[in-house]
Amino acid sequence: MSENNITNHANIKEITLNEMENVTKRELEAFVLHERLRLESKCGSNTHTSSLNRTIAAIKSLYNYLCEQTEDSNQYLHY
């Protein structure tokens, strides 16, 4: 997130839920494109697909978790 100027925090622990809630679809798409290009330059054009898919799955899982109801019927994020 800091590499793509989505947040200005150097440490991931400093990112707030409010910042996570305000990440746009365009910012996530730019991040995925950045990762794709980074992996292609590092690993070659054919070997990066599984790594990129794991990254996308991790982002989806994080947002799904943050949008689920907690035990006290609250959510971390509201969409």
pLDDT, residue 41, reads 83
pLDDT, residue 55, reads 84
Please tell me the pTM assigned to this model: 0.63
pLDDT-derived band at 21, boundaries 50, 70, 90 = confident
Report d(CA 17, CA 12) in Å as an integer: 11
Report d(CA 77, CA 33) in Å as an integer: 25
User: Which is more confident, 26 or 77?
Assistant: 26
Assess contact for 31 and 4: CB atoms under 8 A: yes
pLDDT tens digit sequence for 49-61: 788 888 889 888 8
Assess contact for 36 and 52: CB atoms under 8 A: yes
